[in-house]
């Protein structure tokens, strides 16, 4: 049961960044690249959680899914999540 609660906590944290208008507006104003941070990052974190939680607790993640997520994070054939995140700074 502990794994279930830990996963729920991480999902709530991801939602906190993307789900509260006042917080999002403040972050968008106070961060360089804040629109990406509040607009795109929550969905990316949610996608990782949906794969990671079952992968860590119930079943293995298939190679195709792992490769797709790695490529997205690292920027293979696209602007990578880590590169986007590195652009986020306090103004």
pLDDT per residue of the chain (91 residues) written in tens, 0 to 9: 444 455 566 666 666 655 688 888 999 999 999 999 999 999 999 999 888 876 567 778 899 999 999 999 999 999 999 999 999 999 9
Q: Contact, 38 vs 18, CB < 8 A?
A: yes
Q: Where are the domains of the chain?
A: 2-90
Bridge partners (DSSP) listed for residue 89: 32
- Closest by CA to 36, choosing from 49, 48, 46, 27, is 27
Task: Report the alpha-carbon distance of residue 1 to residue 20 in Å, rounded.
Answer: 28
Q: Can you give the pTM of this predicted structure?
A: 0.69
Task: Report the alpha-carbon distance of residue 4 to residue 76 in Å, rounded.
Answer: 32
pLDDT score of 3? 47
């Amino acid at each position: 049961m502990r794994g279930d609660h830990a996963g729920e906590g991480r999902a709530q944290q991801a939602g906190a960044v993307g789900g509260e208008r006042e917080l999002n507006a403040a972050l968008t104003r106070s961060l360089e690249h804040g629109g990406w941070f509040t607009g795109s990052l929550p969905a990316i974190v949610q996608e990782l959680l949906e794969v990671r939680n079952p992968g860590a607790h119930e079943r293995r993640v298939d190679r195709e899914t792992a490769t797709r997520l790695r490529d997205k994070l690292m920027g293979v054939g696209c602007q990578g999540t880590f590169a986007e995140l590195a652009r986020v700074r306090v103004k």
